[in-house]
Structures are given as C-alpha cells and as structure tokens.
Amino acid sequence: MATDTRQRLIDAARQRFYRDGFRNVGVDAILDDVGISKTAFYKHFESKDDLMVGVLGDVDVFLQQHFRQMVRDRGGPSAMGQLRAVMDVVEELMGSAEFHGCIFVSAAMEFPMPHDPAHQAAARHKKEIEHYFYELAERAGSPTPGDLASELCMVIEGAYVTRAITRDPGTIRIARRLADMVIARHLPAK
C-alpha cells in the first residue's frame, strides 16, 4: 500500500510538473490530486525537492526502458538501424498531444545551479542517454562515437525545445536532416 501511494504521488506530480513547471506547482495541489494529507506525504518524501527527484528518477527509468525498446522495435537488431530509428522515436514523442518539451531540460532550466538535486537528476539523465548513443555508435563502427553521441543529443534536445516553444510540427524535418548529417559524418560509408 505504501508503494502504491508513493507511485500515485509520483504520477500526479509528474503530470503537474511536466505541464505547469516545477516551481509553479505546490505540494498541496499534488496532495489534493492524490487525496492524502501532508502527514501521509511525509511518509514517502522528505520534501518537494525529494518528490521532484523521485519524479525525474521515475521518468528516467521509464524513458531508458521505453525509449530503448522503441528504438529496437523500429531499428531492428543492427546498431546502424537503431541509430537511424532514434529520430523516428523522437518524432513519435514530439507528436504526442501531451508533449510539452523535455522534463529534464525543464528541470535543468528551472534549477540551473549544478548542486541542485533536480539539476543533478537532469544531468544524470543526459549522460545516460548520451552513453546509450555512444554504445550504438561504437557498435555501428564509428571511429568517433563520443562526438556522434554528443552531437545527436544536441540535435534532439534542440528539437525538443524548438517544438515545445514553436509548436511547429515541421521541427522534426530539420532535426532529421541534422541527425542524418551527424550520423553520416561519424560513420564510415559501407
């Protein structure tokens, strides 16, 4: 039961933080959504900061598993196919009616100090995604997998921010062209 309540708090907070921003949402609104008291809240989280980190950790786990599975499903068994499928997955995520940008970018922007727990959670997520792209690039035979990974991350982050700000569905076309150039630059032609 305690785990269920904790997860309900995370789910309610994730929806509100993602839609309205971390600073704009008070704990009381989340408690109302879940239907529990502050006393019950403090059995699961020490503070709003602790809840924010819990939300970011939950989203990170989901994305690490879900994003990777989507890439495998679309790209097949080869690392090159999976690298090329990354933008298909990005397009699907950005095309959702609920898309409001990247929750990790939002966290890093709202909490720009590197010592802030939310900022640290966002930075960890970025490193994990970049490492995933590094592994794909390395398996695909790139002589510069680190450069490919960091450049691909930058293209995707730029696409997320641009799409969230402009709401322009054409953002993905530009991002795909850039991603294709990055991949071609860092992978030998075969």
* pLDDT of 149: 98
Alpha helices in the chain (DSSP H): 2-20, 27-34, 38-41, 48-75, 79-95, 103-110, 117-139, 145-166, 171-186
d(CA 173, CA 65): 26
Give the HSE-up count for residue 69: Cα atoms under 13 Å, Cβ half-sphere: 6
Calculated CA dihedral for residues 16, 1, 65, 111, nearest 10 degrees: 40
Predicted confidence (pLDDT) per residue in 94-112, tens digit = 998 889 999 999 999 999 9
CA distance 167 to 89: 18
Per-residue pLDDT tens over the stretch 12-64: 999 999 999 999 999 999 999 999 999 999 999 999 999 999 999 999 999 88
Phi/psi for 45 (5° steps) reads -140, 140
Residue 1: pLDDT band (50, 70, 90) is: very low
Summarize pLDDT for 63-77 with one digit per residue, the tens. 889 999 999 999 999
User: What region, left, alpha or beta, does residue 76 occupy, with left being phi > 0 and alpha being psi -120 to 50 degrees?
Assistant: left
The average confidence (pLDDT) of the chain is 95
Q: Give 126's Cβ-side CA count (13 Å radius).
A: 21
Domains of the chain, each with CATH number or no CATH:
46-186 (1.10.357.10)
Percent of the chain with pLDDT over 90: 94
Q: Mind listing the pLDDT tens digit for each residue in 111-132?
A: 999 999 999 999 999 999 999 9
Q: Is the pLDDT of residue 2 over 70?
A: no
**Where do we find the tokens 């322009």?**
168
What is the structure's pLDDT at 97?
Answer: 87
Residue 190: which pLDDT band, with cuts at 50, 70 and 90? low
Q: Across residues 75-84, what is the average pLDDT?
A: 97
Q: Which of these, 35, 46, 3, 164, lies nearest to 96 by C-alpha position?
A: 164
What does the block give as tokens for 172? 């993905």
DSSP characters over 29-65: HHHHHHT--HHHHTTT-SSHHHHHHHHHHHHHHHHHH
